[in-house]
Amino acid sequence: MKFTLGIEEEYQVIDPVSRELISHDQQIVTEAAKVLNDQVKAEMHQAVVEVGTNICNDITDAREQITHLRKSISGIANDLGFKIGAAGTHPFSKWENQHITPNPRYDEIINELQDTARSNLIFGLHVHVGMEDKQMAIHLVNAMRYFLPHLYALSTNSPFWEGRNTGFKSFRSKVFDKFPRTGIPGIFDNYAQYENYVNILVKTKCIDNPKKIWWDIRVHPFFPTLEVRICDVPLTVNETISIAALIQALVAKLYKLRTQNLSFMNYHRALINENKWRASRYGLEGKMIDFGKECEVDTKLLMLELLDFIDDVVDDLGSRKEIEHVKVMLKNGTGADRQLEIFKQTNDLTKVVDYITEQTILGL
Protein backbone atom coordinates (compact mmCIF):
# COMPACT_ATOMS: atom_id res chain seq x y z
CA MET A 1 0.00 0.00 0.00
CA LYS A 2 1.23 3.48 -0.89
CA PHE A 3 -1.01 5.62 1.37
CA THR A 4 -0.94 8.59 -0.98
CA LEU A 5 -1.96 11.97 0.42
CA GLY A 6 -4.13 14.92 -0.50
CA ILE A 7 -4.33 18.10 1.59
CA GLU A 8 -6.91 20.89 1.51
CA GLU A 9 -6.48 24.17 3.41
CA GLU A 10 -8.91 27.09 3.81
CA TYR A 11 -7.40 30.58 4.14
CA GLN A 12 -8.76 33.87 5.42
CA VAL A 13 -8.66 36.87 3.08
CA ILE A 14 -7.64 39.86 5.17
CA ASP A 15 -7.60 43.62 4.63
CA PRO A 16 -3.99 44.68 5.48
CA VAL A 17 -5.21 48.01 6.93
CA SER A 18 -8.25 47.13 9.05
CA ARG A 19 -7.15 43.48 9.53
CA GLU A 20 -10.79 42.53 9.00
CA LEU A 21 -11.91 39.69 6.79
CA ILE A 22 -12.71 41.14 3.39
CA SER A 23 -14.48 39.98 0.25
CA HIS A 24 -11.95 39.53 -2.55
CA ASP A 25 -14.82 39.14 -5.01
CA GLN A 26 -13.09 35.95 -6.24
CA GLN A 27 -10.22 37.99 -7.70
CA ILE A 28 -7.66 35.77 -5.94
CA VAL A 29 -9.35 32.61 -7.25
CA THR A 30 -9.57 33.99 -10.79
CA GLU A 31 -5.87 34.96 -10.85
CA ALA A 32 -4.68 31.83 -9.05
CA ALA A 33 -6.64 29.54 -11.40
CA LYS A 34 -4.44 30.77 -14.28
CA VAL A 35 -1.42 29.09 -12.67
CA LEU A 36 -2.96 26.55 -10.25
CA ASN A 37 -5.91 25.38 -12.39
CA ASP A 38 -8.42 23.52 -10.22
CA GLN A 39 -6.17 23.53 -7.14
CA VAL A 40 -7.85 26.73 -5.95
CA LYS A 41 -11.57 27.13 -5.22
CA ALA A 42 -14.05 29.75 -4.10
CA GLU A 43 -15.97 29.02 -0.91
CA MET A 44 -19.40 30.04 0.33
CA HIS A 45 -18.05 33.17 2.04
CA GLN A 46 -16.17 35.60 -0.19
CA ALA A 47 -13.49 36.08 2.47
CA VAL A 48 -12.34 32.45 2.07
CA VAL A 49 -9.99 30.83 -0.43
CA GLU A 50 -9.58 27.06 -0.50
CA VAL A 51 -6.59 25.23 -1.96
CA GLY A 52 -6.01 21.53 -2.52
CA THR A 53 -2.93 19.58 -3.54
CA ASN A 54 -2.90 17.07 -6.35
CA ILE A 55 -2.34 13.45 -5.27
CA CYS A 56 0.92 13.41 -3.26
CA ASN A 57 3.09 10.28 -3.43
CA ASP A 58 4.60 10.88 0.00
CA ILE A 59 4.99 13.52 2.69
CA THR A 60 7.90 15.22 0.89
CA ASP A 61 5.71 15.69 -2.17
CA ALA A 62 2.93 17.00 0.10
CA ARG A 63 5.27 19.55 1.69
CA GLU A 64 6.40 20.83 -1.71
CA GLN A 65 2.82 21.17 -2.92
CA ILE A 66 1.41 22.91 0.17
CA THR A 67 4.41 25.26 0.28
CA HIS A 68 3.86 26.11 -3.39
CA LEU A 69 0.12 26.68 -2.85
CA ARG A 70 0.55 28.93 0.21
CA LYS A 71 3.31 30.87 -1.52
CA SER A 72 1.30 31.31 -4.74
CA ILE A 73 -1.93 32.37 -3.01
CA SER A 74 -0.06 34.72 -0.67
CA GLY A 75 1.80 36.35 -3.58
CA ILE A 76 -1.36 36.79 -5.66
CA ALA A 77 -3.27 38.14 -2.64
CA ASN A 78 -0.48 40.67 -1.95
CA ASP A 79 -0.48 41.83 -5.58
CA LEU A 80 -4.23 42.45 -5.30
CA GLY A 81 -3.88 44.35 -2.03
CA PHE A 82 -4.89 41.55 0.38
CA LYS A 83 -3.18 39.25 2.88
CA ILE A 84 -4.00 35.64 3.69
CA GLY A 85 -4.18 34.05 7.11
CA ALA A 86 -4.30 30.44 8.28
CA ALA A 87 -6.36 30.14 11.47
CA GLY A 88 -9.57 28.30 12.30
CA THR A 89 -11.50 31.52 13.00
CA HIS A 90 -10.77 35.22 12.53
CA PRO A 91 -10.09 36.94 15.87
CA PHE A 92 -12.71 39.69 15.53
CA SER A 93 -14.51 39.87 12.15
CA LYS A 94 -18.27 39.35 12.35
CA TRP A 95 -19.95 36.81 10.11
CA GLU A 96 -22.97 39.13 9.75
CA ASN A 97 -20.82 41.49 7.65
CA GLN A 98 -19.53 38.89 5.19
CA HIS A 99 -20.61 38.52 1.57
CA ILE A 100 -21.83 35.15 0.28
CA THR A 101 -20.46 33.92 -3.07
CA PRO A 102 -23.23 33.92 -5.71
CA ASN A 103 -23.64 30.28 -6.71
CA PRO A 104 -26.76 28.05 -7.02
CA ARG A 105 -25.17 25.43 -4.75
CA TYR A 106 -24.46 27.97 -1.99
CA ASP A 107 -27.91 29.56 -2.45
CA GLU A 108 -29.45 26.16 -1.87
CA ILE A 109 -27.37 25.52 1.28
CA ILE A 110 -28.24 28.98 2.68
CA ASN A 111 -31.90 28.40 1.87
CA GLU A 112 -31.89 25.13 3.77
CA LEU A 113 -29.54 25.88 6.66
CA GLN A 114 -30.18 29.63 7.08
CA ASP A 115 -28.07 31.31 9.81
CA THR A 116 -26.18 28.13 10.60
CA ALA A 117 -24.68 28.39 7.09
CA ARG A 118 -24.29 32.18 7.08
CA SER A 119 -22.43 32.05 10.40
CA ASN A 120 -20.19 29.18 9.34
CA LEU A 121 -17.16 31.44 8.91
CA ILE A 122 -14.52 28.85 9.77
CA PHE A 123 -11.32 27.54 8.23
CA GLY A 124 -10.27 23.91 8.29
CA LEU A 125 -7.63 21.43 7.20
CA HIS A 126 -8.77 18.26 5.41
CA VAL A 127 -6.34 15.39 4.89
CA HIS A 128 -7.04 12.55 2.44
CA VAL A 129 -5.23 9.21 2.56
CA GLY A 130 -5.51 6.97 -0.50
CA MET A 131 -7.61 3.83 0.07
CA GLU A 132 -9.12 2.06 -2.94
CA ASP A 133 -10.90 -0.66 -0.95
CA LYS A 134 -14.12 0.87 0.46
CA GLN A 135 -14.65 -2.06 2.83
CA MET A 136 -11.19 -1.54 4.32
CA ALA A 137 -11.78 2.23 4.38
CA ILE A 138 -14.92 1.81 6.52
CA HIS A 139 -13.05 -0.42 8.94
CA LEU A 140 -10.21 2.12 9.20
CA VAL A 141 -12.65 5.01 9.73
CA ASN A 142 -14.20 3.07 12.63
CA ALA A 143 -10.78 2.60 14.24
CA MET A 144 -9.45 6.11 13.42
CA ARG A 145 -12.34 7.75 15.30
CA TYR A 146 -10.59 7.08 18.61
CA PHE A 147 -7.61 9.21 17.57
CA LEU A 148 -9.56 12.17 16.16
CA PRO A 149 -9.50 14.16 19.46
CA HIS A 150 -5.70 13.68 19.62
CA LEU A 151 -5.30 15.11 16.10
CA TYR A 152 -7.76 17.88 16.92
CA ALA A 153 -5.92 18.90 20.12
CA LEU A 154 -2.69 19.22 18.13
CA SER A 155 -4.33 21.43 15.47
CA THR A 156 -6.31 23.79 17.75
CA ASN A 157 -6.00 27.27 16.25
CA SER A 158 -9.26 29.21 16.84
CA PRO A 159 -9.44 30.70 20.34
CA PHE A 160 -11.21 33.94 19.32
CA TRP A 161 -14.67 34.53 17.84
CA GLU A 162 -16.20 37.90 16.93
CA GLY A 163 -13.77 39.83 19.15
CA ARG A 164 -13.97 37.61 22.22
CA ASN A 165 -11.56 35.20 23.83
CA THR A 166 -13.93 32.22 23.85
CA GLY A 167 -12.04 30.24 26.50
CA PHE A 168 -11.69 27.43 23.95
CA LYS A 169 -8.50 26.45 22.14
CA SER A 170 -10.70 25.64 19.14
CA PHE A 171 -14.03 27.40 18.86
CA ARG A 172 -14.28 26.39 15.19
CA SER A 173 -15.97 23.08 15.94
CA LYS A 174 -18.50 24.83 18.20
CA VAL A 175 -19.53 26.93 15.19
CA PHE A 176 -19.65 23.91 12.88
CA ASP A 177 -21.60 21.76 15.36
CA LYS A 178 -24.74 23.71 14.38
CA PHE A 179 -24.69 21.96 10.97
CA PRO A 180 -26.46 18.61 10.57
CA ARG A 181 -24.38 15.47 9.95
CA THR A 182 -21.20 16.77 11.63
CA GLY A 183 -18.97 15.51 14.43
CA ILE A 184 -17.70 12.02 15.22
CA PRO A 185 -19.52 9.42 13.11
CA GLY A 186 -21.05 6.26 14.50
CA ILE A 187 -19.74 2.80 13.63
CA PHE A 188 -20.74 1.06 10.40
CA ASP A 189 -20.27 -2.70 10.30
CA ASN A 190 -19.47 -2.67 6.59
CA TYR A 191 -19.59 -0.48 3.51
CA ALA A 192 -23.00 -1.82 2.45
CA GLN A 193 -24.48 -0.58 5.74
CA TYR A 194 -22.97 2.87 5.15
CA GLU A 195 -24.28 2.91 1.56
CA ASN A 196 -27.73 2.02 2.82
CA TYR A 197 -27.58 4.97 5.24
CA VAL A 198 -26.60 7.34 2.41
CA ASN A 199 -29.31 5.97 0.12
CA ILE A 200 -32.02 6.54 2.74
CA LEU A 201 -30.87 10.16 3.19
CA VAL A 202 -30.91 10.78 -0.56
CA LYS A 203 -34.26 9.01 -1.03
CA THR A 204 -35.89 11.05 1.74
CA LYS A 205 -34.42 14.34 0.43
CA CYS A 206 -32.25 14.98 3.50
CA ILE A 207 -29.31 15.36 1.10
CA ASP A 208 -28.89 15.33 -2.66
CA ASN A 209 -25.39 13.81 -2.52
CA PRO A 210 -23.14 12.26 0.14
CA LYS A 211 -20.78 15.29 0.16
CA LYS A 212 -23.35 16.84 2.51
CA ILE A 213 -22.25 14.38 5.18
CA TRP A 214 -19.72 16.60 6.96
CA TRP A 215 -18.37 14.25 9.64
CA ASP A 216 -14.95 14.64 11.25
CA ILE A 217 -13.84 11.62 9.25
CA ARG A 218 -15.50 9.96 6.27
CA VAL A 219 -14.95 7.63 3.37
CA HIS A 220 -14.88 10.21 0.61
CA PRO A 221 -17.96 9.89 -1.62
CA PHE A 222 -16.11 10.50 -4.92
CA PHE A 223 -12.37 9.97 -4.38
CA PRO A 224 -10.78 6.64 -3.38
CA THR A 225 -9.73 8.13 -0.05
CA LEU A 226 -10.42 8.27 3.63
CA GLU A 227 -10.74 11.95 4.66
CA VAL A 228 -9.97 13.42 8.10
CA ARG A 229 -11.80 16.75 8.53
CA ILE A 230 -11.60 17.51 12.26
CA CYS A 231 -8.56 19.82 12.27
CA ASP A 232 -8.38 23.61 12.37
CA VAL A 233 -6.17 24.94 9.57
CA PRO A 234 -2.74 25.29 11.25
CA LEU A 235 -0.72 28.52 11.27
CA THR A 236 2.39 27.14 9.55
CA VAL A 237 3.25 24.74 6.74
CA ASN A 238 5.39 22.71 9.18
CA GLU A 239 2.37 22.13 11.41
CA THR A 240 0.09 21.16 8.51
CA ILE A 241 2.66 18.69 7.22
CA SER A 242 3.31 17.12 10.64
CA ILE A 243 -0.43 16.63 11.22
CA ALA A 244 -0.82 15.14 7.71
CA ALA A 245 2.12 12.79 8.38
CA LEU A 246 0.53 11.73 11.67
CA ILE A 247 -2.80 10.99 9.94
CA GLN A 248 -1.05 9.02 7.19
CA ALA A 249 0.94 7.01 9.76
CA LEU A 250 -2.19 6.23 11.79
CA VAL A 251 -3.96 4.92 8.70
CA ALA A 252 -0.89 2.84 7.78
CA LYS A 253 -0.60 1.42 11.31
CA LEU A 254 -4.29 0.50 11.59
CA TYR A 255 -4.16 -1.02 8.10
CA LYS A 256 -1.14 -3.09 9.16
CA LEU A 257 -2.97 -4.36 12.26
CA ARG A 258 -6.04 -5.23 10.18
CA THR A 259 -4.05 -7.16 7.58
CA GLN A 260 -2.38 -9.10 10.42
CA ASN A 261 -5.88 -9.99 11.64
CA LEU A 262 -5.52 -7.75 14.66
CA SER A 263 -8.02 -5.01 15.30
CA PHE A 264 -8.02 -1.81 17.29
CA MET A 265 -10.77 -1.52 19.88
CA ASN A 266 -13.82 0.43 18.64
CA TYR A 267 -15.26 2.86 21.18
CA HIS A 268 -18.73 4.36 21.27
CA ARG A 269 -19.16 7.82 19.76
CA ALA A 270 -20.46 9.11 23.13
CA LEU A 271 -17.11 8.28 24.75
CA ILE A 272 -14.98 9.72 21.95
CA ASN A 273 -17.06 12.92 22.15
CA GLU A 274 -15.86 13.41 25.74
CA ASN A 275 -12.29 13.61 24.44
CA LYS A 276 -13.31 15.83 21.52
CA TRP A 277 -14.87 18.29 23.97
CA ARG A 278 -11.66 18.32 26.04
CA ALA A 279 -9.51 18.81 22.93
CA SER A 280 -11.69 21.74 21.85
CA ARG A 281 -11.64 23.36 25.28
CA TYR A 282 -8.05 22.77 26.41
CA GLY A 283 -6.04 21.78 23.32
CA LEU A 284 -2.78 20.14 24.42
CA GLU A 285 -2.90 21.72 27.88
CA GLY A 286 -5.60 19.51 29.38
CA LYS A 287 -6.19 15.84 30.06
CA MET A 288 -7.99 13.30 27.91
CA ILE A 289 -9.43 9.94 28.84
CA ASP A 290 -7.54 6.73 28.16
CA PHE A 291 -10.55 4.47 27.63
CA GLY A 292 -8.45 1.31 27.87
CA LYS A 293 -7.26 2.23 31.38
CA GLU A 294 -10.46 4.21 32.16
CA CYS A 295 -8.54 7.13 33.61
CA GLU A 296 -7.51 10.70 32.77
CA VAL A 297 -4.06 11.23 31.25
CA ASP A 298 -2.25 14.44 30.30
CA THR A 299 -2.97 15.05 26.63
CA LYS A 300 0.73 15.60 25.87
CA LEU A 301 1.49 12.19 27.37
CA LEU A 302 -1.20 10.58 25.21
CA MET A 303 0.38 12.27 22.18
CA LEU A 304 3.75 10.71 23.01
CA GLU A 305 2.04 7.30 23.38
CA LEU A 306 0.47 7.87 19.96
CA LEU A 307 3.94 8.53 18.48
CA ASP A 308 5.13 5.23 20.00
CA PHE A 309 2.07 3.43 18.57
CA ILE A 310 2.85 4.48 14.98
CA ASP A 311 6.65 4.28 15.25
CA ASP A 312 7.00 1.01 13.32
CA VAL A 313 5.42 2.40 10.12
CA VAL A 314 7.04 5.84 10.01
CA ASP A 315 10.31 4.90 8.30
CA ASP A 316 8.52 2.95 5.57
CA LEU A 317 6.45 6.09 4.88
CA GLY A 318 9.58 8.27 4.87
CA SER A 319 8.07 10.71 7.35
CA ARG A 320 10.36 10.40 10.38
CA LYS A 321 11.38 14.09 10.27
CA GLU A 322 7.78 15.30 10.01
CA ILE A 323 6.61 13.02 12.84
CA GLU A 324 9.52 14.16 15.05
CA HIS A 325 8.29 17.74 14.53
CA VAL A 326 5.18 16.81 16.54
CA LYS A 327 7.43 16.91 19.65
CA VAL A 328 8.39 20.50 18.76
CA MET A 329 4.67 21.32 18.48
CA LEU A 330 4.07 19.80 21.94
CA LYS A 331 6.83 22.04 23.30
CA ASN A 332 5.92 25.29 21.50
CA GLY A 333 2.15 24.98 21.87
CA THR A 334 -0.55 24.98 19.22
CA GLY A 335 -1.58 27.92 17.04
CA ALA A 336 -4.22 28.73 19.68
CA ASP A 337 -1.63 28.84 22.48
CA ARG A 338 0.55 31.19 20.45
CA GLN A 339 -2.35 33.45 19.41
CA LEU A 340 -3.39 33.71 23.07
CA GLU A 341 0.17 34.53 24.10
CA ILE A 342 0.32 37.43 21.60
CA PHE A 343 -3.01 38.71 22.94
CA LYS A 344 -1.76 38.42 26.51
CA GLN A 345 1.33 40.47 25.62
CA THR A 346 -0.46 43.16 23.56
CA ASN A 347 -4.16 43.08 24.52
CA ASP A 348 -4.71 43.90 20.83
CA LEU A 349 -6.52 41.56 18.44
CA THR A 350 -5.12 43.37 15.37
CA LYS A 351 -1.66 42.27 16.59
CA VAL A 352 -3.00 38.71 16.76
CA VAL A 353 -4.12 39.01 13.11
CA ASP A 354 -0.64 40.33 12.18
CA TYR A 355 0.87 37.29 13.91
CA ILE A 356 -1.46 34.95 11.98
CA THR A 357 -0.55 36.50 8.60
CA GLU A 358 3.19 36.35 9.43
CA GLN A 359 3.03 32.70 10.54
CA THR A 360 1.02 31.71 7.47
CA ILE A 361 3.97 32.50 5.20
CA LEU A 362 6.73 31.54 7.66
CA GLY A 363 9.53 29.64 5.98
CA LEU A 364 8.04 29.80 2.49
| CATH for 125 | 3.30.590.20
| pLDDT tens profile 136-151 | 999 999 999 999 999 9
| pLDDT tens profile 74-94 | 999 999 999 999 999 999 999
Regions of the chain with pLDDT less than 50: none
Q: Up-side HSE of residue 179: CA atoms within 13 Å toward CB?
A: 23
Question: CA torsion 309→184→269→265, rounded to 10°?
Answer: -20
| Confidence at residue 264, expressed as pLDDT on a 0 to 100 scale | 85
Distance between CA atoms of residues 283 and 352, nearest Å = 18
| Confidence at residue 120, expressed as pLDDT on a 0 to 100 scale | 84
Cβ–Cβ under 8 Å, residues 357 and 83: yes
Structural domain harbouring 261: 5-360
| Confidence at residue 134, expressed as pLDDT on a 0 to 100 scale | 96
Cβ–Cβ under 8 Å, residues 172 and 91: no
Cβ–Cβ under 8 Å, residues 247 and 326: no
**SS3 readout for the chain:** CCCCEEEEEEEEEECCCCCCECCCCCHHHHHHHHHHHHHEEECCECCEEEEECCCECCHHHHHHHHHHHHHHHHHHHHHCCCEEECCCCCCCCCHHHCCECCCHHHHHHHHHHCHHHHCCCCCEEEEEEECCCHHHHHHHHHHHHHHHHHHHHHHCCECEECCEECCCCECHHHHHCCCCCEECCCCCCCHHHHHHHHHHHHHCCCCCCHHHCEECEEECCCCCEEEEEEEECCCCHHHHHHHHHHHHHHHHHHHHHHHCCCCCCCCCHHHHHHHHHHHHHHHHHCEEEECCCCEEEEHHHHHHHHHHHHHHHHHHHCCHHHHHHHHHHHHHCCHHHHHHHHHHHHCCHHHHHHHHHHHHCCCC
Counted domains in the chain: 1
| Confidence at residue 163, expressed as pLDDT on a 0 to 100 scale | 97
Distance between CA atoms of residues 19 and 2, nearest Å = 42
| Confidence at residue 320, expressed as pLDDT on a 0 to 100 scale | 98
Amino acid residing at 273:
N
- Residue 339: CB atoms within 10 A of its CB come to 29
| Confidence at residue 202, expressed as pLDDT on a 0 to 100 scale | 95
